[in-house]
Amino acid sequence: MSATDQFLWSDPQRLGGRVCFRGTRVPVDALFENLEEGVSMDEFLDAFEGVTREQAVGVLEAARHALAGVVAV
């Protein structure tokens, strides 16, 4: 099962089709926005109680793997 299947869901009829953490209505982009603002992982998880550490780390790992083949120019 891929990280997408395991940790994420999206429905065009809900939340405008935004990709969310499975079992929550928390958009995945909230994780990236919070980390970008300097919020720690623990603070993020406290603020969005439905999101598990396993989900957040899985999404970050999937993003890292997706970017692994990208060459910066």
| Domain containing residue 27 | 3-67
Domain count, the chain: 1
CATH of the domain at 11: 1.10.10.10
Q: Is residue 8 part of a domain?
A: yes
What's the pTM value of the predicted model, to 2 decimals?
0.84
Q: Is residue 72 part of a domain?
A: no
Taking the chain (73 residues) in runs of 10, the rounded mean pLDDT of each run is: 78 89 96 98 97 96 86 58
- Residue 22 CB neighbours (<10 A): 17
Give the pLDDT score at 73. 54
